[in-house]
Structure 1
Amino acid sequence: MDLARSLRAEARRSNERRVLVLAGDAPRTRDRAAAALDAAEIPREETTLLGPDEFLGCERHEQARASELLGRTRTAVVLDCHDELRPNALGTAVGAVDGGGLLVLLTPSLEEWPEKRDAFDGTLAVPPFGVDDVSGHFRRRLVETLRAHRGVAVVRVTAEGDTVEKRGLTDPPPRRPTAPPAPPDDAAFRPETYDACLTDDQVAAIRAFETLREVGNAVVVEADRGRGKSSAAGLAAANLALDGRDVLVTAPQYRSAAEVFARAASLFETCDVAFEGDREDAPRELRVAGDGAVDSSGDSEGGGDGRSGGRIRFAKPAAAVELPEDPDVVVVDEAAALPVRRLESLLSAPAVAFTTTVHGYEGAGRGFSVRFRDRLAESDRAVTDVTMTTPIRYADADPVETWAFRALLLDARPPVEQLVADATPETVEYRRLTSADLLADEHLLREVFGLLVLAHYRTEPADLARLLDAPNLSARALTTSDRQSDRDHVVAVALLAQEGDLDAETRATMYEGGRIRGNMVPDVLTTQLRDEAAGVPVGQRVLRIATHAAVRSRGLGSRLLDGVRTEFDDEADWLGVGYGATPELVRFWRRNGFDTVHLSTSRNDTSGEYSAVMLDPRSETGRALAERHAEWFLARVGAVLSDALSDCDPDVVRAALRAVDGAPPLDLSDWEWRLVAGVPGGAAILDTDPAPFRALAVRHLVAPDDPDALTDREERLLVRKVLQARSWDSVTDELGFVSRRQCMRALGGSVERLTRLYGEEWVQEELDRHT
């Protein structure tokens, strides 16, 4: 394989990477892959194979476990695509190849590949659709990028011999040697820290981390993958621990933060500092011996005492937001993959750093840059920003990075603000976008996908394949015209999933606990809420909805939903949505005609929120479904709130209950009314039987006869004490009452007003008797 030898030589000379595509049947392309590695003189111990079968004698993982490569570098990665191509595996494989290395893709004939259906396509074929309904547009577009981009070689492998269709050689100039970055003269961290830096960007990042030695500071480091931000965070964390500080590290998964711990341990060793780890291969806590806890300046300000040893420890986001054991510093790695609400909670730490991938193979959302940065700016933190642009593992001009960004749309963005600034609900056009429309218009695809990235805290390359290929998904958009360019631009987008219309066998499987791909709303209503008929009606679930940041709060999201509602009035039984509930989101969906039918009883591990399921019925069948689940929800919510949902945000509870369609019956016995009427005057106590108080609270919060009868704080008091059965002391502290007695009097006053609002005349007389 002379071509492989030439590609490797060129890659090494320029410190870039190259892609070699071997297209043909599986046995022949696998043979050629082995020959290519030998010709390129890449040892097997420096190679990883991602595929179903071992044929190279090297490290191997299934594509589904490509994440094993995250944070690692390899001279060659061979991605065997004959059985399947997982877009996430492709992104991970690209990111793992070092400068001077090769990515080898083994594919069917490029002409036939888009028409074949593989195992990944099977994951897109959610019932009632089959794999033949999957379109293949993602691979069709991928093939186009392979043929169009620099640095990608294509070889057709057949029984008659090999044909080089594209050589992929770019004749770049040789790599020029660069001087190592100079350490700063006035550094607070140890000099060995800066000796370990490979770029000026890393030096700047670590200088920013030095501010975390003082309370009240925050650092934000943004970079594309492979720029060394996690390494910089690890070097900084080591110094903070050496100064006696307790550093808490969190990330979506531990593997995202593993480099932080690896670099910290390496610096300890370089500095000859004794330390202990809970696990040698992948420690989640590093503890420094007490006599090593002095920084280079001798300064122990901000928590270090110069004597006691510090530590670096990992916690999952759900635990980290509680700031366990009161850390001195929190480091959030891959912050863009966490929801904004969770990031806000971490601002309570004495000092905090956020590192985030701008365009990540692992999946990154832009809620961080679009929404969280506003919250951070409004906080009392002194914020230091750093942007890292220089790659560490390969040259700046690496053509493979350019190809990967385009092929996986890692750099997709909405239109610039000026192009959509004048958009209003009256001037935009509602559009139905097919996957064929998106494939045919790269500009439109980039704007749509760029907005969808903004709509979710985590977006992966596989989401692009779902958008283009999944038969149950479709996109709707609002566009505005640009007269100068004669082009439309996307100002809002919704991604919809068709659900329901399931046959009896599928519904029975779901009811008996079997997992059915897609169909989130029917699945919840069937498996958790025991309604086997919930899979019969046809629905459209809103997976994501996003409005351009420049035109928010103009009603464009509602305008888009109005268009969806009008379009599907005769085609769907219901519109639905399931999402991590916040008060603002619940109110948005309620304003747009969606009614609460369920609150999940466990928090999402990543978002930290309880999920709400809401429906907007569009037919008699849909209304019957929504009405029975609203009735069942009201029947159980009082008991659930005092148990599984006892820690749910009271404003989420208030908003979710106010979004239920219908007024629950308030059918109290005479004895229960006498109990309720006796509480305001102190003749009775709530704990005798909380049930009638819960019924009264639910009745008012769902469908109040007088919405102004209680203040917001009084409604929160109803939720916390009556519905969630929290202790008097905790409710007193949380709601800001000066004493437990004042809190109890406030609840008595609320019960009195509700009793006068909903009780019959004889109940009022009973109330007057005691008050």
Structure 2
Amino acid sequence: MIAELARDLKREAERANQRRLLVLAGDRDRGIDAAYDAIEAIGVDEGSVSLVSTREGFRFERVAPRGANDLLGRTREAVVLDCHDRFVPNALGRAAGAVDGGGLLVLLTPPLDDWPGRRDGFDESLAVPPFTLADVTGRFRERLVGTIRTHPGVAVVDLGETEEGVGGSGDWTPTIEREGLTHPSPARARSPPTRPATATFPETVYEACLTADQSRAVRVLESLSTPGSAVVVESDRGRGKSSAAGLAAGALALDGSDVLVTAPAYRNAAEVFARAREVVGADDDEGSDEGTSPNDARTIRAPSGGCVRFASPATAAELPEDPDCVVVDEAAALPVRLLERFLAAPAVAFCTTVHGYEGAGRGFSVRFRDRLAESDFAVRDVRLDEPIRYAREDPVESWVARALLLDARPAVPEAVAGTTVDDVRYRALAPDELLDDEVLLGEAFGLLVAAHYRTEPNDLARLLDAPNLAARALVAGDRVVAVALCAREGGLDPETRAGMYEGERVRGNMVPDVLTSQLRDESAAEPRGLRTVRIAVHHAVRDRGLGSRLLDRVHGEFADDVDYLSVGFGATPRLLRFWRRAGYRNVHLSTTRNDASGEYSAVMLRPDGEAGRSLLDRHAVALRDRERDALSDAHRDVDADVVRGALAACPASESIDLTDHEWRAVVGASFGPGMYDVAPGAFRDLAVAVLVGGSGDVSLDDREERLLVRKVLQGRPWEAVADELDYVSTAACMRALGSAFEPLVECYGTDLALAERDRFVDR
């Protein structure tokens, strides 16, 4: 029965050049046996089959659920996803994406009626202390089961469930609940690629294209040979955008260009390199294709001296070795601030998946596109619509998009365009309400996707099932215009706190973990906190105070339940100002950059009780004292305006204790003939004092504050500081530094310092 159904599904999939989904629901051992029967029945080579499972010992290639990323960019005739021990939503998207047209995706699941009520290894990851596994719900799987039972192209076989403790062997009769056949028309031939008459790339490059869309994209990408050109290539998954970029990169390298390629990880750019290698004719790359570190360099060299090379996003944004052009693959999975740095390249292509399962934040289409349009680049757009690996209207593609909300979007702009803070209502987004209202869920999750470049299917499961999360929104009528996702943290028992202090990772407690294990505060995980994980405002109503209004309402609701509120984010001057205005204060700046964003992370707190105020006070003082030295060491390359924002948001009071000699040195360099180099430590103490807390006692302009950061705190060479801050000479820069310290002497100077000042002023 199962073999016959599998053959029918495979024949229909091949006829339509689509995929089909076969769900084998019931006992796990029976499911594995049935999967073997199905794979054998459809007659595919075992080498073209992958099985995603926590178990080992299969004839097929086995991929662990946590390693499902390895399927990205690969093509398989069949993929079996074992959903019993650890069902990971991300793995579902990646498993489906690896199945080629004419292929079969097989899910092994518990009985569908029972599945939402069962708990597995993924659920354990949602049981964030102090919550337990019993607190995790099964709403995500309840919704998933509903799509399995209603979506076209999905076959369901009930295998039955064995009694507890009894194996899956013996006589059993499966029941076909849904046959999953859609009886589609035969697949239409793809539109043939052509080489435009005006093309400059070799004929072989266009012959390697598979569709007219691809050849059109390659033709547009030819413009990367001209400085000042930018190209945006957009498509849904499986349309060949990465292949087109790879063909163009290889052709550019053949012509002698140095092409720098970046993506969230090398595996995301593997198809770019595979196609570029075909064009160049290179046998080996410098660096292993199998590595997974985003910092591992890969290089394809062409006989002309050109090359195609990979660098991680943060490294590539520095434009190492001055490339001729840059290709950014999966651009929507990178933060807007990082994307902006690629606008310094001579020419650049941004290739992006419109609906992705690896995180496809719409900051690219909503915010970055405006900044690209305002740049000096001549921008050309190209979109690929025709699927390559399978035909249009593929039911597995639409099912995955529906099940994982890959196409979730905020409300249409016209529906919310006139909204102001006076028009909105604050409301909780209870998980049960989200489950029952697909429009509400889609708009809320769509805003979260738009707000953050790494929102992914696992986050949908967390939104519906994680006991530590709370979602709140502002709605205009019934349209969601702003949403905040918050996580309860802290309140941990002494044993858990002690383990955290010794280096044990405690899931879902980001801020307590940083303060405890990194900053060595053994009691930091005792107070109860509420961390804003995401906050998003509809792009049609930004800059109207809705984000601040939403935070105010969240603060009001939870003030009596927690000791502090917190947030962690990639530090930018704008975000530091936003959170400072919302009452948050800085307690930490990470010592390393995030590989994907290229930013240092800040942690900020807003106390709501005595325990929270105590936590903030001691960590603010620690940050002030730590940054005095870190800015000339680990933070020496932090942007000056980020430093200013981070210190201004630190509420520690000034701590100045200079010796008489140090005061004489400072006064001499400020009002007289002295030199800064005589007592740099004294200048550093004063610079920290004036920048911390945004002191209103001393007024320095922006350039003067940047001068204090770059020269005094970060120890940059005079020449470099003068050049960066546009001083006419190093001598002018030195004089400006002395002048900047004059009001500091006036404000903080001792009687001796003021008397010393008078000696110079009265001359």
| Partner of residue 353 from structure 2, selected from 351, 354, 357 | 357
How does 1:176-255 map onto structure 2 within 5 Å? 176-255=188-267
Aligned position for 1:297: none
Aligned position for 1:299: none
What is the one-letter code of the residue matched to 2:391? A
What is the Cα deviation at residue 704 of structure 1?
Answer: 5.5
Deviation >4 Å, runs of 4+: 279-283, 703-708
Name the CA shift for 1:276/1:156 in 2 (closer, same or farther; >3 Å): closer
1:260 equivalenced with 2:268 (yes/no)? no
What is the Cα deviation at residue 43 of structure 1?
Answer: 2.1
| Partner of residue 58 from structure 1, selected from 57, 60, 78 | 60
Aligned position for 1:157: 159
Aligned position for 1:6: 8
How does 1:254-333 map onto structure 2 within 5 Å? 254-269=266-281, 277-279=285-287, 284-290=298-304, 309-333=305-329
What is the one-letter code of the residue matched to 2:686? L
Aligned position for 1:343: 339
Aligned position for 2:486: 496
Aligned position for 2:557: 567
Say which SS state the counterpart of residue 600 (structure 1) adopts: strand
Q: Is the CA contact (8 Å cut-off) linking 1:225 and 1:361 kept in structure 2?
A: no
Name the CA shift for 1:280/1:726 in 2 (closer, same or farther; >3 Å): closer
Aligned position for 1:295: none
Q: Is the CA contact (8 Å cut-off) linking 1:430 and 1:560 kept in structure 2?
A: yes
Report the Cα distance in structure 1 between the residues aligned to 2:29 and 2:617, rounded to whole angstroms: 58
Name the CA shift for 1:327/1:558 in 2 (closer, same or farther; >3 Å): same
What is the one-letter code of the residue matched to 1:490? V
What is the one-letter code of the residue matched to 2:299? E
Aligned position for 1:103: 105
Q: Is the CA contact (8 Å cut-off) linking 1:26 and 1:108 kept in structure 2?
A: yes
Identity %: 61
What is the Cα deviation at residue 682 of structure 1?
Answer: 4.7
Report the Cα distance in structure 1 between the residues aligned to 2:652 and 2:225, rounded to whole angstroms: 55
Aligned position for 2:117: 115
Aligned position for 1:90: 92
Report the Cα distance in structure 2 between the residues aligned to 1:642 and 1:88, rounded to whole angstroms: 41
Report the Cα distance in structure 1 between the residues aligned to 2:652 and 2:254, rounded to whole angstroms: 61
What is the Cα deviation at residue 763 of structure 1?
Answer: 2.1
Name the CA shift for 1:58/1:276 in 2 (closer, same or farther; >3 Å): closer
Q: Is the CA contact (8 Å cut-off) linking 2:697 and 2:747 kept in structure 1?
A: no
What is the Cα deviation at residue 56 of structure 1?
Answer: 4.3
1:713 equivalenced with 2:703 (yes/no)? yes
1:584 equivalenced with 2:574 (yes/no)? yes
| Partner of residue 725 from structure 2, selected from 714, 718, 735 | 735
**Which shows bigger deviation, 66-75 or 672-681?**
672-681
1:427 equivalenced with 2:417 (yes/no)? no
Q: Is the CA contact (8 Å cut-off) linking 1:321 and 1:342 kept in structure 2?
A: yes
**Which shows bigger deviation, 37-46 or 16-25?**
37-46
What is the one-letter code of the residue matched to 1:72? R
Report the Cα distance in structure 2 between the residues aligned to 1:691 and 1:45, rounded to whole angstroms: 66
Q: TM-score of the superposition, structure 2-length normalised? A: 0.95
What is the Cα deviation at residue 594 of structure 1?
Answer: 0.3
Aligned position for 2:293: none
What is the Cα deviation at residue 192 of structure 1?
Answer: 1.0
Name the CA shift for 1:361/1:704 in 2 (closer, same or farther; >3 Å): closer
| Partner of residue 744 from structure 2, selected from 744, 747, 754 | 754
Say which SS state the counterpart of residue 576 (structure 1) adopts: strand
What is the one-letter code of the residue matched to 1:217? S
What is the one-letter code of the residue matched to 1:406? R
Report the Cα distance in structure 2 between the residues aligned to 1:176 and 1:648, rounded to whole angstroms: 55
How does 1:432-447 map onto structure 2 within 5 Å? 432-447=428-443
Report the number of matched residues.
743
**Which shows bigger deviation, 231-240 or 651-660?**
651-660
Name the CA shift for 1:708/1:150 in 2 (closer, same or farther; >3 Å): same
Report the Cα distance in structure 2 between the residues aligned to 1:40 and 1:275, rounded to whole angstroms: 35
**Which shows bigger deviation, 756-765 or 600-609?**
756-765
Say which SS state the counterpart of residue 534 (structure 1) adopts: coil
How does 1:644-683 map onto structure 2 within 5 Å? 644-683=634-673
What is the one-letter code of the residue matched to 1:545? I
Name the CA shift for 1:168/1:703 in 2 (closer, same or farther; >3 Å): closer
Aligned position for 1:34: 36
What is the Cα deviation at residue 142 of structure 1?
Answer: 0.6
1:595 equivalenced with 2:589 (yes/no)? no
Report the Cα distance in structure 1 between the residues aligned to 2:138 and 2:693, rounded to whole angstroms: 49
What is the one-letter code of the residue matched to 1:89? A
Aligned position for 1:406: 402
Report the Cα distance in structure 1 between the residues aligned to 2:514 and 2:589, rounded to whole angstroms: 10
Q: TM-score of the superposition, structure 1-length normalised? A: 0.94
What is the Cα deviation at residue 154 of structure 1?
Answer: 0.3
1:510 equivalenced with 2:503 (yes/no)? no
Say which SS state the counterpart of residue 565 (structure 1) adopts: helix
Report the Cα distance in structure 2 between the residues aligned to 1:600 and 1:242, rounded to whole angstroms: 42
1:298-349 alpha-carbon deviations (Å, 9 max, x no partner): xxxxxxxxxxx21111111121111111110111111111111111111111
How does 1:337-486 map onto structure 2 within 5 Å? 337-481=333-477
Q: Is the CA contact (8 Å cut-off) linking 2:416 and 2:541 kept in structure 1?
A: yes
RMSD of aligned alpha carbons: 1.5
Name the CA shift for 1:281/1:343 in 2 (closer, same or farther; >3 Å): closer
**Which shows bigger deviation, 652-661 or 54-63?**
54-63
Say which SS state the counterpart of residue 385 (structure 1) adopts: strand
Q: Is the CA contact (8 Å cut-off) linking 1:22 and 1:106 kept in structure 2?
A: yes
Name the CA shift for 1:703/1:231 in 2 (closer, same or farther; >3 Å): closer
What is the Cα deviation at residue 715 of structure 1?
Answer: 0.5
Say which SS state the counterpart of residue 277 (structure 1) adopts: coil
Report the Cα distance in structure 1 between the residues aligned to 2:235 and 2:151, rounded to whole angstroms: 24
Report the Cα distance in structure 2 between the residues aligned to 1:275 and 1:464, rounded to whole angstroms: 42
Report the Cα distance in structure 2 between the residues aligned to 1:87 and 1:560, rounded to whole angstroms: 29
Report the Cα distance in structure 2 between the residues aligned to 1:495 and 1:578, rounded to whole angstroms: 13
Say which SS state the counterpart of residue 426 (structure 1) adopts: helix
Say which SS state the counterpart of residue 423 (structure 2) adopts: coil
Q: Is the CA contact (8 Å cut-off) linking 1:133 and 1:471 kept in structure 2?
A: yes
1:458-515 alpha-carbon deviations (Å, 9 max, x no partner): 121111111111111110100011xxxxxx0100000000000100000000001111
Q: Is the CA contact (8 Å cut-off) linking 1:21 and 1:107 kept in structure 2?
A: yes
1:597-637 alpha-carbon deviations (Å, 9 max, x no partner): 11111111111111111100011111111111112212222
Name the CA shift for 1:662/1:17 in 2 (closer, same or farther; >3 Å): same
Report the Cα distance in structure 1 between the residues aligned to 2:286 and 2:618, rounded to whole angstroms: 52
Say which SS state the counterpart of residue 758 (structure 2) adopts: helix
| Partner of residue 681 from structure 2, selected from 674, 691, 703 | 691
Report the Cα distance in structure 1 between the residues aligned to 2:713 and 2:604, rounded to whole angstroms: 21
Q: Is the CA contact (8 Å cut-off) linking 1:578 and 1:613 kept in structure 2?
A: yes
What is the one-letter code of the residue matched to 2:452? H
Report the Cα distance in structure 2 between the residues aligned to 1:593 and 1:403, rounded to whole angstroms: 43
**Which shows bigger deviation, 472-481 or 755-764?**
755-764
What is the Cα deviation at residue 25 of structure 1?
Answer: 0.7
Q: Is the CA contact (8 Å cut-off) linking 2:666 and 2:679 kept in structure 1?
A: no
How does 1:106-145 map onto structure 2 within 5 Å? 106-145=108-147
Aligned position for 2:168: none
Say which SS state the counterpart of residue 85 (structure 2) adopts: coil
Name the CA shift for 1:335/1:704 in 2 (closer, same or farther; >3 Å): closer
Report the Cα distance in structure 2 between the residues aligned to 1:179 and 1:204, rounded to whole angstroms: 12
What is the Cα deviation at residue 688 of structure 1?
Answer: 2.5
Name the CA shift for 1:279/1:680 in 2 (closer, same or farther; >3 Å): closer
Q: Is the CA contact (8 Å cut-off) linking 2:447 and 2:536 kept in structure 1?
A: yes
Q: Is the CA contact (8 Å cut-off) linking 1:478 and 1:491 kept in structure 2?
A: yes
What is the Cα deviation at residue 593 of structure 1?
Answer: 0.4
1:151-177 alpha-carbon deviations (Å, 9 max, x no partner): 000000026411001111000011133
Structure 2 unmatched runs, 5+ = 161-170, 291-296
Aligned position for 2:27: 25
Q: Is the CA contact (8 Å cut-off) linking 2:359 and 2:449 kept in structure 1?
A: no
Structure 1 unmatched runs, 5+ = 291-308, 482-487
